[in-house]
Amino acid sequence: MVDTLDTTRTIAMAPSLMTMDLDQFKEQITFLNDKVNMYHIDVMDGHFVPNISLSPWFIGEVRKISNLPMDAHLMVTDAEFWVDQLIDIKCERINMPSEVINGKAFSLIGKIHAAGLKAGVVLNPETPISTIMPYIDQLDNVMIMTIDPGFAGQPFLESTLDKIVELRRLRDEHGYGYEIEMDGSTNLKHWKMISDAAPDTYVIGRSGLFGLTDNIEDSWNQMVGEYEQSTGYRFNTGR
């Protein structure tokens, strides 16, 4: 199998730190630092989604033991409040909920860019791409949720993969500069169909990495094996 794997594809991996084992925080981050491309930080306010999760403060804790970029996923009703906090700590990529920024999307994107950071938006499963078309050319990242947001372990929604394919078509046709990220139930059951849709960045959580074994190295090796067996591609993050 090793000799027949396709080596033409490079993918970016962003472990979702909401799903890691916090009692192994330092051990897991230290192991992943030279293997992944960035860390995915979920910020929830208890209103946009019913859960409350990580905060900008947590990014500072991760930075004590990692120099990798931070990829913030805002699930909040007051996007500007949280964007300002993330700008203050220079979070490298800030992904805003498209459903709440209508009327101020250009100003928020401009504010993020003025700080030298990357601006992204998130499309939840029921939100169409048409929502972001007025400013799609300004974006550095578009994140597609393949599950309902707010909690890990939600059912995978295969139809959302069509948005990834459409975003790639639009990017190729118009020369847009955004990357395409997917988030939700990235695991053995779905590796093949996600790979066929071909996002640039994979958010990986408990079902695909942190929950596979009780040891991060064993879990990583299992994840790599499952990806390669399912997709036929050599696992390569460019690290």
Q: Which residues are catalytic?
A: 42, 183
DSSP states of the chain: -GGG-B-----EEEEBGGGS-GGGHHHHHHHHTTT-S-EEEEEEBSSSSS-B-B-HHHHHHHHTT--S-EEEEEE-S-HHHHHHHHHHTT-SEEEEETTT-TTTHHHHHHHHHHTT-EEEEEE-TT--GGGGGGGGGG-SEEEEESS-TTSTTPPP-GGGHHHHHHHHHHHHHH----EEEEES--STTTHHHHHHH--SEEEE-IIIIITSSSSHHHHHHHHHHHHHHHHSBPP----
